[in-house]
Structure 1
Amino acid sequence: MCDTFIFRSENATDKRIWFGKNSDREPNEAHEVVFRKGQKYTAGTRVKCTYIEVPQVESTFDVILCKPAWMWGAEMGINAQGVVIGNEALFTKGKPLKEPALTGMDLLRLALERSCDAQSALQCIIQLLETYGQGGNCGYRHPFYYNNSFLIADRNETWILETVDRNWAAKRYAGSTSISNGLTLHNDWDKRSAGFSQIHDLAGQMSDPLVTTFSMAKIRRECTLDGISAMGKSEDIRAAFNLLRSHNGKDRRPSDSVMENTVCMHAGWGPIRIDQTTGSMVVDLSKEPSVIWITGTSAPCLSVFRPIIFSDFHEDTVISSEADWQRNEVFHRKALFCGDTILDTFSSERDQLELEFVKENEKGLRNQLQVTRRVEEFSSRWQEKMAAEKPVRGRFLLRVAWNVFNREAGFKIANKDSDL
């Protein structure tokens, strides 16, 4: 489960363009953020994606990718040309796509590496999809097969691309929009593949109604659409952070519900609520250079967004590693069961740190080494504070679920009733 949005101010004198996405994956699936330097390649070179190889192009662009640590592809990212893409799993009718092919995450990375604008990224994904197809297991510990949708944007335009097997439909958006885990196009596409020539209502005819309903994709998309509508009243990019932290307008703490899926996703008692937000990205495309805000950690409501730009990196770099993600998980999994008072204090201090980053960035005073150091110091201090906290009682189903996740991941975290 994931959610992706683009906000474009409708004020002619206001050029705010904000992209945001949460990557929702299995609770123990580590997330990493990487910079990959563009390169030139000789004719005949091939690139190994998650499952298959495809011919490499003559040259690639610099990219920053937020991705599951085990995959070649990425859930979201940006290239040095200012193209941003986020992908979503789609639950559609038809047989699972089990044959090895390009995953949706592979298609996203390939398009970022090869495309100078949103239009060319759209065409890149379409060409690769029609040539190689999409498929292969996209699950970490549990098999998971699905089709994909993409929100593709640059400073000038946005495209939503929705796919079923090798078929596709695309719509151009001039303003703000969002996608979740459900088909959104009906008969309002701008272009489509020949394979959809007999389709008159894409979402109506091709959606898997059961899985799409239980994913709460419609409710989560309504939440992000409401959020980007309200962004017109704010000039602070932290509004985009807060939208990714949303629990659909409800209390910020995850509940014991067996079905509650929210924009900021917290895994709980299965079999429906089984994912968590493992990483988040916000991109400010308003002006050059684009500023990328990342967490590199799970649960944006319990994370810090920190800024990076392309000029910070000159060679292949792991910006936020699997080990970084694992260290933060100890804090995150303790925080899920702590009282409101300490979480309120954390949120207040975290918001102040982010405000400092925003102000420094606006004044051109951002220093990447200092930003990294301050985030590390903040995180270390709060990991120590949370380690000393005892969990609160109650929330039985959530506690049972996370005890299982912790055991599977090898985390020794005291949050059982017997530990109180």
Structure 2
Amino acid sequence: MCDTFVALPPHTGGAVVFGKNSDREPNEAQALEYHPPARHPSGARLRCTYIEIDQARDTFGVLLCRPFWMWGAEMGANERGVVIGNEAVFTRMPTVREKVLTGMDLLRLALERAATADQALETITALLHDHGQGGRCGYRDRRLAYHNSFIIADPAGAWVLETAGPLWAARRVTRRAAISNRLSIGADFDRAHPQLVATARRRGWCRPSESFDFARCFSDRFMTFFAAGGRRRGRSLELLDHQQGRFDAAAAMALLRDHGPGEYRPDGHLLLDRICAHAANPLTRHAAQTTGSLVAVLHPQQQQYWVTGTAAPCTGLFKPVWLEGDVLPPDLGTPGPRCDAESLWWRHERLHRLVLEDFSHRLGLYRRDRNRLEAGWQQAARTASGRERFALTQKAFAQARQATEEWIQQVSASRPARCRAAWPYRFYWRRQNRLADVRWHR
């Protein structure tokens, strides 16, 4: 499950601002990587997660946040300033589990092939027509399959694209938008599959006397309810509107860290109804851990990205990245299914999982230091140019690594827990640690 949003001028200070939390299984490590532009041989084929398709002649350079086991990505951006995030949605159309593209494949293919948001929309809908969508989308839960919605943005504007099997509807964003694991487009779409309305009427989902509403006609109400996207989407829109006219990168990061009003306990609620998501049980909050976060600030002449490369943005740091010259430091590593000391994602998990044992107290030990570091990078990013940008990226990742090690020592010294989590929650996380060979709790 996930949350994605976008804000356009005049809702912002002049840029298009995009953000996404990628919520997946707690041990589903996510790689942060850059693939440079490339020219491919004529007739080349491309292996995606489950199927092979024709490769494009030329592909753009792309920054990806990619679950380690799949080809596609949860979110990302390309060198032309196109940024996309996708969401699982549950619809009444049949879900195909074999020989199709996943929603994450569709996202990456659009980033590699499209120079604008309009082109990305056309790329995804064409691929839907040619190859279909679905696939087994869970990491350990191989039963999980779904359709997809997307926010597609560039410096000129944004689209919400929502799908149901091969069918789709798209709405151009006029001010701000948010999507959260449920269909949100009703009758207010600007483009649609030519058979969208006819299919709903033929299947009896829209009576002749009723006006057509995409979300009402095509939503699987049972799965949509338990995905709890309505509350998260409402909270995203509330926070977007609270910063109307001044929504910026810092506000986007705060939104992605939001747990709702009041003091938060990750063991204290049943459904996935918080934007900053924390896994807690195998039934209603398993594919419910934020495993990566991305913020994009898109000006026509310059695009800036802020990435965690780690789980739980409340416990980690957003670092600045530009898609020019060198993009990422070389020492981030590529995570896999088991805990390791070499990858950025798993290094941070030691801090994340220690904080979970006594969430409010332990996060409070270093929250001010986290905010101070990010504020310094944001100030430096406003005036950085040319080579200064990659130097700032390197500095930020290095400082984040050092700070993480210091915070691990600080948090470890606070044992035993002052406010111990409920036993089902502790049992759930002990099991996750065993599955990924996480050893620091032994």
TM-score calculated relative to the size of structure 1? 0.94
Provide, for residues 163-198 of structure 1, a one-character-per-residue CA deviation record: whole Å limited to 9, x for no partner: 111111111112211111000111211121123132
Matched, 1:295 2:308: yes
Alignment gaps of 5+ in structure 2: 201-211, 336-342
Residues 7 and 177, structure 2, Cα contact 8 Å, conserved in 1:
yes
| 1:352 paired residue number | 372
Query: Aligned letter for 2:311?
Result: S
* Distance in 2 separating the partners of 1:170 and 1:339: 40
Hey, what does 1:189 align to over in structure 2?
A: 189
Name the structure 2 match of 1:404. 431
- Tell me, in whole angstroms, the C-alpha distance in 2 between the residues paired with 1:6 and 1:209: 26
The answer to whether the Cα contact below 8 Å between 1:162 and 1:183 also exists between their aligned partners in 2 is yes
Structure 1 gap segments, 5+ residues each: 416-420
User: How far does residue 413 in structure 1 lie from its aligned partner after superposition?
Assistant: 4.6
For the Cα contact (< 8 Å) 2:10–2:245, is it kept in 1?
no
Within 5 A, what are the aligned runs for 1:17-416?
17-143=16-142, 144-198=144-198, 199=200, 200-232=212-244, 234=246, 236-274=248-286, 275-286=288-299, 288-313=301-326, 321-322=334-335, 323-338=343-358, 340-364=360-384, 366=389, 367-390=392-415, 391-392=417-418, 393-414=420-441
Evaluate the alpha carbon distance shift between residue 70 and residue 233 of structure 1 in structure 2; reply closer, same or farther with a 3 A threshold. Answer: same
Letter in 2 for 1:141: R
Q: CA deviation at 1:312?
A: 4.5
Q: Distance in 2 between matches of 1:262 and 1:284?
A: 24
Residues 314 and 4 from structure 1, CA distance in 2 versus in 1: closer, same or farther, beyond 3 angstroms? closer
What is the DSSP-based 3-state SS (H/G/I as helix, E as strand, rest coil) of the residue aligned with 1:54? strand
Q: How far apart, in 2, do the equivalents of 1:137 and 1:163 lie?
A: 17
Say if 1:98 and 1:339 are closer, same or farther in 2 by CA, change over 3 A: closer
Residue 70 of structure 1 deviates from its aligned partner by 1.0
Q: 1:254 to 1:316 in 2, by over 3 A?
A: closer
How many angstroms apart in 2 are the aligned matches of 1:316 and 1:102?
Answer: 31
Between stretches 120-129 and 305-314, larger displacement belongs to 305-314
Q: Which amino acid aligns with 2:115?
A: C
Coordinate RMSD, CA, aligned? 2.0
Moved over 4 A (4+): 314-320
Structure 2: distance between partners of 1:386 and 1:249: 24
Offset from partner CA, 1:344-370 (integer Å, 9 cap, x none): 131110000000000011121542222
> What is the TM-score when the length of structure 2 is the normalising length?
0.89
Q: Which moved more, 1:250-259 or 1:111-120?
A: 250-259
Give a deviation string over 1:358-384, Cα, whole Å, max 9, x none. 001112154222222111111111122
Count of paired positions:
414
Q: Secondary structure at 2:112's aligned position in 1?
A: helix
| Distance (whole Å) between structure 2 residues aligned to residue 235 and residue 168 of structure 1 | 30
Structure-2 separation of matches of 1:7 and 1:98 = 34
Partner-residue secondary structure (3-state), 1:239 = helix
SS in 2 for 1:301: coil
- The CA deviation string for residues 283-323 of structure 1, in whole angstroms up to 9 with x for no partner, is 11135321110001111111100001112527997856322
Range with greater deviation from structure 2 (152-161 or 392-401): 392-401
User: Shift of the alpha carbon at 1:227?
Assistant: 1.2
> Identity percentage over the alignment?
38
